Amino acid sequence: MRELYPEIEPYRTWRLAVDDIHELHVEECGNPQGLPVVFLHGGPGAGVSPYHRRFFDPARYRIVLFDQRGAGKSTPHADLRNNTTSHLVADIEAIREHLEIERWVVFGGSWGSTLALAYAQAHPERPLGLVLRGIFLARPGELRWFNELDGGASWIFPERWARYLAHIPEVERHDMVEAYWRRLDSDDEAVRLAAAMAWGNWEGGSTTLIHDPDEPGNFEDPKVAISVARAEVHYFRHAMFLAPDQLLRDLGPVRHIPATIVHGRYDIICPVKSACDLAAAWPEAHLHIVLAGHSAADPAIVDQLVQATDALADRYC
């Protein structure tokens, strides 16, 4: 099985003001003359991590990574003004134009797969290829699956769900996303942080194939927990700023783009049906369902993602 490429440091980091409010943190790694690729992180709100650089051969790729609005090192932190899917799509284009890149590979997982599809559909002439992991199509059932009482995830992780539920009084549990939003938008910093940590414990500990119900999750850093929880709830309560079935409906202009879809069979956050539905509507794409959960770090997912990026490098380099 393929493994991640060795650790690598950026050869350049810089910032891009995209409006009067937001300034993005951007980094470039690998070969400045290599095949350009843009990495779209998940969440929304999670930001990029050093291991995200390692899905690409640094000798053959010019790797562009950035923290989306309000996430990571982008400023202002956790700010949701002018923060919608269309704003993020425009930011990707602004980065491409700033770097004077004509076309590039687009790589995204989880929410990053949603954003990658939205970007490709808005600018179908720009992607050289798409590598999509942990598909999330933002349909109504997907929006409710993981966070609401009538979803199904609570049946899979009941111990963790009980803690997520306990943070909200019973009278408010008919709409968990709105209940969490009231706390995440509170004027009281302690209330905001407690809600963010409860939200992150539910999601962050549910990503891997091997699940420990008592593991605290991967959003223990309060700053990360706040940006992830606020951004996710903001987007969820607005249906990710997409029309129902928009990403499947508008596949026509992108079906010519070489695409790989990688999904864990036991992904509880984004169930595998979404990947199957996308592949059925996009028969030209290559679907790989592997023995894994949601996490991009699960070995079987790493294997397929690295194979996909290597194949695109073989094609274009």
Catalytic positions are 110, 267, 294
Give residues with Cβ within 8 angstroms of 150, minimum separation 6: 144
Give residues with Cβ within 8 angstroms of 124, minimum separation 6: 253, 254, 256, 257
**Integer distance in angstroms from the first to the last C-alpha of the chain?**
23
Report angle CA 135, 36, 303 to the nearest 5 degrees: 45
- How far are the Cα atoms of 52, 83, 190, 208, 223 from residue 297, in angstroms, in the given order? 10, 28, 32, 8, 22
69-70-75-77 Cα dihedral, nearest 10 degrees: 180
* Phi, psi (deg, nearest 5) at residue 207: -95, -25
